[in-house]
Amino acid sequence: MDNSQYLVVALDAAHAAADIIRHYYRRDPAVRQKPDATPVTEADVAAEKVIRETILAAFPDHGFYGEETGREREDAEFLWLVDPIDGTRSFVRGYPFFSTQIALMRAGRIELGVSSAPLFDEVAWAERGAGAWLNGERCAVSSVGALELSTLSAGNLRTLAMSDAWSQYGRLVARVERIRGYGDFYHYHLLATGRIDIVIESDVHVLDIAALSLIVEEAGGSFTNLAGRPLDMHTRSALASNGRLHANVLAAMNYSDP
């Protein structure tokens, strides 16, 4: 497959960030708390800096929205959405469930996504209409069509646990064949490659999931919020599936956005 110039640059940025992240991993990088009480390390800042520099050197007229450095030219036709280390708490604690997320939005629609997990040596990517790929192999979701045969992975469930939908979630868990909590990028990679069938999260940010949403869709799956609405800049929950199970999960959850 011939990659577009956008994807070539996004992959270059992800690889450069991966080198920085590996350098700092388990070496006690400096950590501070942001105003929202989430941690940020010198690795986050350095990784986002190299991503921003790589992208804007190639596309100086594009907008950029970074987890650590904020928004620049947000009204541009092309807007890059970047989380340099999605899973900073995992990074700080020294376990490898974290990734770099890079997405390109054009006129409000995600057109490209890269999900790079340096400690897993996994890079997944997708461009709209060109399929999804993991380490150069084409991705495809599973063909499981019954909840009773499915594997569900969930993470970031605090809001769901405090909502009226918690009991519906419990009944869904009782129906599926297997429940796991792989978390962060990893369960989306598993879903896109047909190894699990459903992912549920109730506390996410668009920067965490923009790239992953396109990877899942281009692998043949479905991605909405828990109420069934498509991803946008305000999305705070996620339901990803192999597509065949999506309507059944939405009906079982009967979730309303808080």
The pLDDT of residue 29 is above 90: no
Q: Residue 82 is encoded by which pair of tokens?
A: 């970047």
H/E run at residue 174: helix 166-175
Instruction: Say if residue 151 is in the same domain as residue 220.
Output: yes
Q: Considering the domain boundaries, does residue 155 fall inside one?
A: yes
Averaged pLDDT score across all residues of the chain: 95
One-letter amino acid for residue 57 of the chain: A
Write down the pTM of the prediction: 0.96
| Position 139 in a domain | no
**How much is the pLDDT for 74?**
81
Does 181 have pLDDT greater than 80?
A: yes
Are residues 31 and 71 located together in one domain of the fold?
yes
242 HSE (CA, 13 A, CB side): 24
pLDDT of residue 2: 60
Residue 1 has pLDDT above 70, yes or no: no
17 and 65 belong to one structural domain: yes
With respect to residue 118, please indicate whether it lies within any of the assigned structural domains: yes
Which tens digits make up the pLDDT trace of 111-144?
999 999 999 999 999 999 999 999 999 999 999 9
* pLDDT per position as a tens digit, 184-216: 999 999 999 999 999 999 999 999 999 999 999
The string of pLDDT tens digits covering residues 30-77 is 888 888 878 889 999 999 999 999 999 999 999 999 999 888 888 899
Q: 112 lies in a domain?
A: yes
Tell me, yes or no, whether 106 and 54 share the same domain.
yes
- Both tokens of 217, joined, read 């869709």
Tally of structural domains, the chain: 2
Domain that holds residue 234: 147-253
Per-residue pLDDT band for 83 (boundaries 50, 70, 90) equals very high
Phi, psi of 105 (to 5 degrees): -105, 135
SS3 101: strand
Answer yes or no: do 77 and 103 share one domain.
Answer: yes
pLDDT at 174: 97
Q: Is 112 exposed, middle or buried (0-12, 13-18, 19+ CB in 10 A)?
A: buried
Cβ neighbours for 43, distance < 8 A, ≥ 6 positions apart: 20, 21, 23, 24, 25, 29, 84, 85, 91
Number of CB atoms found within 10 A of residue 193's CB: 20
Helix axes 206-218, 184-192, angle to 10 degrees: 10
Residue 152 C-alpha from the chain's centroid: 17
